[in-house]
């Protein structure tokens, strides 16, 4: 029989590396990371537009947990063990300089994800971890109480005392877990943009509006988000849209991505907007509505024109001729603009998957399976996903660290 590793990590992504390094640094042992593709940490490389949003300056574990549509309560304990501040310390101790941006997102000071990769590679090398690429694990069998056998695509076999599955959103890791007795929660995409059937709006692509209130009805449930949206040539993107897609991911999927969205463009109610429009009518009666409009600090003229055109209101109209009927139409459109979502944005906009290994089957203090002793999990393979802002990587660091520490403490 081949040499038996103390630990084999299946999947060379963020969570797998964090687990392997933690286990190795805390107790010298023989550890291998098996990666299917030719390169490890590929998602880290492309993340955050090549800058890698490593984590978030959200320091309170309770508040931090609210950023996870799946996993929220279960993560409370995990974040009390290894949170955002611990992740920052961890990376800085290993030479990666980080910076906090105004919105709380944390990036490498160099603005380059390769620095994160370099840091993880250096730490894994220093702790003697064997990293093998081009090795796809097909099946994992428990041969005895203490030994796992991993069969790879090229008919190569590996043996290990413990196995950690860190295969991300890919199906193969979930199949391995399923074969070992784990229940799977079906996966659906999360963090995507909305495709709308609204040419008048998509012609304004590139415009972003900061304080928009979005209300969505999906599968009979109501979801709400507030924040910045970006108009794209297919519909809506931006942080508020992505967050809404994450919290409504399952219900949108059940609705086949055909759901009703209501947009309040100005974060004001009907009567507030009515008063504002009336004040313009009385203050600027001889001015055209195209030149003076009450929302120029909220959105640019191009979007105002698009609203007017959609409402069949002549933009050269003087405020004195802005009838009550037009006023009410505009109020309704600005505060309750009804749109039909007709699908998800183009491929490539899906950042994470919702679903995966059921957390009820895992001891969250160690990330060890409650079904198969010696089997551990970390990262996106679990039924945990976060909104944008560095929260998904934070979950990888947290779950990877907890698993690595528990493995280093476990008896042979
Ligand atoms: C474009 C994009 C940008 C993102 N930006 C951010 C960001 O800025 N901040 C943030 O917090 N999150 C971001 N995310 C999400 C984040 O990348 C993921 O949550 C994170 O990478 C998950 O890490 P993981 O280790 O669980 O899985 P992965 O990174 O997916 O790693 C799993 C690895 O396992 C390998 N593997 C799978 N099956 C097998 C097998 N059977 N045998 C061997 N190897 C296998 C895969 O090839 C892969 O390398 C982004 C995601 C995308 C797609």
What is the distance in A from the centroid of ligand 1 to the CA of 38?
14
What is the distance in A from the centroid of ligand 1 to the CA of 269?
41
Residue 391 alpha carbon, nearest atom of ligand 1: 11
Kindly state if the Cβ of 173 falls inside 6 Å of ligand 1. yes
Name the closest-CA residue to atom 30, ligand 1: 168
Kindly state if the Cβ of 84 falls inside 6 Å of ligand 1. no
Q: Which of 71, 143, 37, 60 is nearest to 392 (CA)?
A: 71
List the structure tokens of 196: 């709308």
For 265-309, write each residue's pLDDT tens digit.
999 999 999 999 999 999 999 999 998 899 989 999 999 999 999
Give the model's pLDDT for residue 29.
86
Kindly state if the Cβ of 16 falls inside 6 Å of ligand 1. yes
Kindly state if the Cβ of 100 falls inside 6 Å of ligand 1. no
List the structure tokens of 197: 């059937």
What is the distance in A from the centroid of ligand 1 to the CA of 35?
12
CA distance 151 to 2: 12
List the structure tokens of 207: 């415009």
Give the model's pLDDT for residue 412.
63
What is the distance in A from the centroid of ligand 1 to the CA of 399?
14
What is the distance of C-alpha 92 from the center of its chain? 23
CA distance to 5, 380, 387, per residue, from 310 (Å):
66, 43, 33
Give the model's pLDDT for residue 377.
98
CA distance 32 to 351: 27
209 burial level (CB within 10 Å; 0-12, 13-18, 19+): buried
What is the distance in A from the centroid of ligand 1 to the CA of 40?
10
Strands 259-264 and 337-344: antiparallel
Instruction: List residues bridging with 235 in a β-sheet.
Output: 195
Q: Which residues of the chain fall below pLDDT 70?
A: 1, 347-350, 412
The pTM score is 0.93
CATH code of the region 4-189+351-409: 3.50.50.60
CA distance 385 to 193: 16
Where helices occur in 248-389 by DSSP H, the ranges are 249-254, 270-283, 301-310, 324-335
CA distance 299 to 294: 10
Q: Which of 383, 403, 406, 384 is nearest to 393 (CA)?
A: 384
Question: How many Cα neighbours within 13 Å face the side chain of 133?
Answer: 7
Kindly state if the Cβ of 35 falls inside 6 Å of ligand 1. yes
Kindly state if the Cβ of 405 falls inside 6 Å of ligand 1. no
CA distance 273 to 261: 20
Residue 16 alpha carbon, nearest atom of ligand 1: 25
Name the closest-CA residue to atom 51, ligand 1: 351
Name the closest-CA residue to atom 38, ligand 1: 167
What is the distance in A from the centroid of ligand 1 to the CA of 284?
56
Task: With residue 21 as reference, give the H or E element that holds it.
Answer: helix 14-26
What is the distance in A from the centroid of ligand 1 to the CA of 200?
37
Q: Which of 168, 388, 400, 401 should be mutated for ligand 1, with most atoms under 8 A from CB?
A: 168
What is the distance in A from the centroid of ligand 1 to the CA of 166?
9
Domain edges within the chain: 4-189+351-409, 192-348
Give the model's pLDDT for residue 349.
54
Per-residue DSSP letters for 47-74? Answer: HHHHT---EES---HHHHHTT-TBTHHH
């Amino acid at each position: 029989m081949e040499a038996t590793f103390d630990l084999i990590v299946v999947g060379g992504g963020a969570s797998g590396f964090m687990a392997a390094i933690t286990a190795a640094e805390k107790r010298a042992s023989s550890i291998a990371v098996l990666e299917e593709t030719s390169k490890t940490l590929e998602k880290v490389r492309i993340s955050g537009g090549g800058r890698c949003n490593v984590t978030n300056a959200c320091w309170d574990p309770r508040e931090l947990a609210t950023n996870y549509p799946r996993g929220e309560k279960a993560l409370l304990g995990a974040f009390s063990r290894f949170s955002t501040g611990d992740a920052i310390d961890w990376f800085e101790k290993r030479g990666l300089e980080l910076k906090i941006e105004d919105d709380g997102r944390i990036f490498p000071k160099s603005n380059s994800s390769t620095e994160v990769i370099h840091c993880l590679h250096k730490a894994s090398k220093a702790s003697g971890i064997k990293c093998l690429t081009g090795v796809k694990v097909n099946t994992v069998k428990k041969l005895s109480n203490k030994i796992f056998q991993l069969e790879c695509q090229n008919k190569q076999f590996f043996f290990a005392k413990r196995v950690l599955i860190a295969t991300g959103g890919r199906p193969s890791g979930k199949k391995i877990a399923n074969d070992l007795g784990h229940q799977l929660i079906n996966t659906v995409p999360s963090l995507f943009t909305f495709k709308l059937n609204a040419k008048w709006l998509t012609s304004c692509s590139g415009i972003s509006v900061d304080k928009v209130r979005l209300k969505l009805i999906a599968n009979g449930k109501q979801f709400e988000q507030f924040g910045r949206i970006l108009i794209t040539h297919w519909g809506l993107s931006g942080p508020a849209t992505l967050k809404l897609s994450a919290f409504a991911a399952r219900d949108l999927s059940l609705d086949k991505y055909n759901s009703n969205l209501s947009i309040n463009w100005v974060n004001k109610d009907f009567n507030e907007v009515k008063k504002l429009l009336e004040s313009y009518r009385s203050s600027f009666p001889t001015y055209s509505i195209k030149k003076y409009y009450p929302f120029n600090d909220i959105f640019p003229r191009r979007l105002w024109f698009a609203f007017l055109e959609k409402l069949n209101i002549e933009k050269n109209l003087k405020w004195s001729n802005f009838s009550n009927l037009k006023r009410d139409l505009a109020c309704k459109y600005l505060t309750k603009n009804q749109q039909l979502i007709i699908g998800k944005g183009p491929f490539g906009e899906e950042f994470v998957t919702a679903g995966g290994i059921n957390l009820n089957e895992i001891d969250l203090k160690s990330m060890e399976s409650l079904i198969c002793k010696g089997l551990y999990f970390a990262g996106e393979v679990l039924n945990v996903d976060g909104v944008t802002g560095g929260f998904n990587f934070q979950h990888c660091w947290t779950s990877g660290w907890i698993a690595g520490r528990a493995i280093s403490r476990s008896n042979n």
